[in-house]
Every structure is written in C-alpha cells, then in structure tokens.
C-alpha cells in the first residue's frame, strides 16, 4: 500500500483530462440510469422530520435517545463482548451487532455500515481488527441489505413520504446513539465507517451530525451529480439527486477528518470517482491507495486505518 501523493499537492492535477471526463460521465450515467423517469417532486415530508434545501441538502431532526434492546450477549475467545441487539429507527426495527473490546476505561466507538448485500456478521473481520485497536463497534443490517432503488425513492419523495435512502442515513445516526448509550463507550468519541454504499451513507450522516468526530469511507465515492446540466432535468428532481450524493456534503465535514481508502483497480466503484470525491473534501483529509482490485476492506489497510482513527480521536502521538 502507498500513501496517495495528492495530500502533498499534485497527483490529481497530473492525471489526464480524459480520466476526469470519463469519471464525470460515469457519475452522470449512474445517476441517470438508476433514477428512471423524472417527475415533479415535493421537497418536504408531511411529518416535518426531514427537509431538503434548494441546494439539495438533506436536514434531519437528530435523535435524542435510542430505543433498543439486547437480544443476545456472549464473549469471544479473545475477550471481546458481542451483543446482538435491535433498535427502533424511523418506525422500523434495525438489527445490529455490537463488539466491545476488553478495557478498564471508556473507549471510542465506530458505526460500521456494510456495503450492499452484506450482512453485519460478514463485517466482523473488520470489527475484530477495530477491537484489536481498542474501539467499540456497532455494525448494522442496512435496510434492503444496503441496496438502493432510486426509482422507488423518487416515487416516495413525490408522494411526500420518506425515501429509503434518507431512512438509511437516519439509521446510521440512530446507531451512533445506541453506541453513545453504552457504559463502555466514550459518548464524545464516535466516528462513522462505511464500505461502498455504506460509505455514502456514512459521509452524509457525518455531515448531518456535528457530534461525529470523523468518517472513513472504504471503496466508496459520490455520484458527481454536481456535473449534471440543470437544464436537462426537472429542478426538484435535481434537488433529490443532490440530496443523496455524498459529493454534496463532504466539504461540510471539515474541520473533522475525512479518510478514503480505495483499490486502484476497483471494478465496482472506479478509483477516479473516489478521487473526485476526495478533491471535494476540505482539510483535514487523507486518501490511501490499495494495490489490486479488491472492493471492500482489505486487512492490508489495517495500519493506515489504525493511524487515521487515532488522529480522528485525538490519540495520535505528536
């Protein structure tokens, strides 16, 4: 693995204009392909729990208290406590798996959001690595297993109902509340970590909740909806596209840290798209390049992950 030299200045500028234009075209194509027919949309749900600004920025009433119950608890061989739980979010029941490292003091906590089609149990290798670093985690089963259906969401939005993608962002915010409520966890030190689609929700959730200390996105990017010609689509539809695009939020996370980790030959989310998303972030930020084509967490990134989490939680030695 190598540190992305863009942090020192010129790597992105040195890439050809061809690559940049291809990545923008891919982003636009993805959005236009998945969204389907465009209608006249409303920008606020009747209950008033969320709204979308003229710039396409989602706003949510932040949760105040988590309603959850532990369904099973056990210990692992290396001393981690595992707790299966459910919590209420947006009138739905979300399944979660919490991992708590053995410690005699409160530890920072991390919300882990899996990628599409990935269950919480399948991310326990990552959660175990994070426990080795001294962090508590809550990994959730995302709605629809993290798969999004923008056509359905557009229809819900048009009817003034909550799109699933908005609810999935709220689920991440509520999962953070569950972590804050654990006696083993430092409630002032919570971060977001998301993989692929989960990374998109993690970035948006971090932007919406100023209490989140920072975000790490693995194999993820925005959709580059800012490059769409507004004259080609309905104004309200454009707002909706922007509201689900991490690119529209990532700059607002500063002065909290943004970290991206991405394989150079990722065949699912192109590396060039992650570069554009990274460029939109403001300092402090870091991007790491993984050799190969892996999509998702690679144990080879453990060292960089440990370093950046220590920085996010103000534990990195001067």
Sequence spans of domains, the chain: 2-312
Give per-residue pLDDT as tens, 197-243: 999 999 999 999 999 999 999 999 999 999 888 888 887 788 888 99
Residue pair 53/236 in contact (Cβ under 8 Å)? The answer is no
pLDDT band at 151 (very low <50, low <70, confident <90, very high): confident
Distance CA(228)–CA(28), nearest Å, equals 6
* Reported confidence tier of residue 42, pLDDT bands at 50, 70, 90: very low
Spatial distance between the Cα atoms of 10 and 25, rounded to a whole number of angstroms:
23
Question: What pLDDT does 236 receive?
Answer: 78
pTM of the model: 0.85
142 vs 148: CA distance, rounded Å: 10
Q: Which of 255, 318, 313 is nearest to 135 (CA)?
A: 313
Fold observed for domain 2-312: Rossmann fold (3.40.50)
Please state, rounded to an integer, the average pLDDT across all residues of the chain: 86
Which pLDDT tens digit goes with each residue over 132-146? 999 999 999 999 888
Tell me what the mean pLDDT of segment 268-290 comes to: 98
Please tell me the predicted confidence (pLDDT) of residue 28.
Answer: 45
Cα–Cα nearest to 205, from 268, 140, 266, 264:
140
């Amino acid at each position: 693995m190598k540190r992305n030299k863009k942090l020192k200045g010129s790597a992105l500028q040195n890439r050809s204009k061809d690559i940049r234009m291809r990545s923008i075209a891919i982003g636009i194509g993805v959005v236009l392909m998945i969204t389907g027919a465009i209608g006249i949309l409303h920008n606020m749900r009747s209950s008033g729990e969320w709204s979308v600004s003229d710039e396409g920025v989602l706003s949510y009433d932040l949760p105040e208290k988590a309603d959850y119950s532990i369904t099973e608890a056990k210990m692992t061989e290396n001393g981690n406590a595992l707790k299966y739980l459910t919590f209420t979010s947006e009138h739905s029941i979300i399944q979660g798996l919490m991992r708590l490292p053995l410690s005699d003091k409160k530890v920072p906590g991390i919300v882990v959001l899996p990628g599409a089609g990935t269950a919480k149990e399948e991310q326990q290798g990552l959660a175990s690595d994070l426990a080795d670093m001294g962090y508590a985690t809550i990994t959730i089963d995302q709605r629809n297993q993290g798969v999004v259906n923008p056509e359905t969401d557009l229809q819900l939005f048009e009817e003034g109902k909550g799109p699933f993608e908005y609810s999935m962002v709220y689920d991440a915010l509520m999962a953070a509340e569950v972590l804050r409520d654990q006696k083993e966890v430092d409630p002032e030190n919570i971060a977001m970590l998301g993989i692929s689609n989960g990374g998109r929700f993690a970035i948006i959730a971090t932007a919406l909740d100023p209490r989140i200390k920072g975000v790490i996105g693995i194999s993820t990017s925005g959709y580059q909806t800012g490059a769409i010609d507004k004259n080609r689509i309905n104004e309200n539809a454009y707002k909706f596209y922007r509201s689900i695009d991490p690119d529209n939020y990532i700059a607002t996370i500063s002065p909290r840290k943004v970290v991206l980790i991405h394989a150079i030959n990722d065949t699912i989310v192109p590396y060039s798209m992650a570069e554009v998303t990274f460029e939109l972030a403001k300092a402090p930020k870091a991007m790491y390049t993984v050799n190969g084509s892996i999509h998702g967490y690679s144990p080879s990134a453990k060292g960089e992950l440990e370093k950046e989490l220590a920085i996010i939680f103000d534990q990195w030695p001067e």
